[in-house]
Structure 1
Amino acid sequence: MKIDEIQSLTAEELKQQEAQTGEKLFRIRFQKSLGQNEGLKNLRELKKDIARIKTVARQRELGHATAPTESTKPAKKSRKKKDA
């Protein structure tokens, strides 16, 4: 999952996506412990996805990033011309 897709999710969708990704990661780890090697390439990618989701959630919590429902355009500053 790309960071742009993650940033476009709402807070509730982030929680759901984190839970789903965690469940997939658990299943792959379980299969690995049983000796099945299918899907091991997804292991690293799932771990990265969870980290991305948690990062976006934390950024929003700290106020560094905005939720998708809020306006993402920066406010324009008016500049006054100085008369010489």
Structure 2
Amino acid sequence: MAEMKIADIRAMSPDQMDDAIVNLKKERFNLRFQRATGQLENTARLREARRDIARIKTIAAQQRAKTK
């Protein structure tokens, strides 16, 4: 999964954002295990996944604040 774009995230519904976060957390978990066992080839993907999670959470918080 490539880095997520802001426009793509803003187009998501809150449920889709939650699903994306869950999927990214699972991916990050697997990437950590791959790194620990020396099987991880693209180490930058760990950073991308972490930042994608933060990006989604930030936009979700902004949207929640806007609706209040």
> What TM-score does the superposition give when structure 1 sets the normalisation length?
0.70
For 2:57, the equivalent position in structure 1 comes to 54
- More helix by percentage: 2
CA distance in 1, matches of 2:27, 2:48: 11
Identical columns (%) = 36
User: Which residue, out of 37, 41, 44, partners 1:38?
Assistant: 41
Other-structure match for 2:10: 7
- Pick one of 30, 37, 44 that aligns with 1:27: 30
Q: Distance in 2 between matches of 1:63 and 1:25?
A: 30
State the alpha-carbon separation in 1 of the partners of residues 7 and 21 from structure 2.
16
Gaps of 5+ in 2: none
Number of residue pairs the alignment of both structures matches: 64
Taking only aligned residues, the RMSD between alpha carbons, in angstroms, comes to: 1.3
The offset of 1:34, in angstroms, is 1.1
Task: Give unmatched runs, 5+ long, in structure 1.
Answer: 65-84
8 A Cα contact 1:28 1:39, kept in partner? no
**TM-score w.r.t. structure 2 length?**
0.85
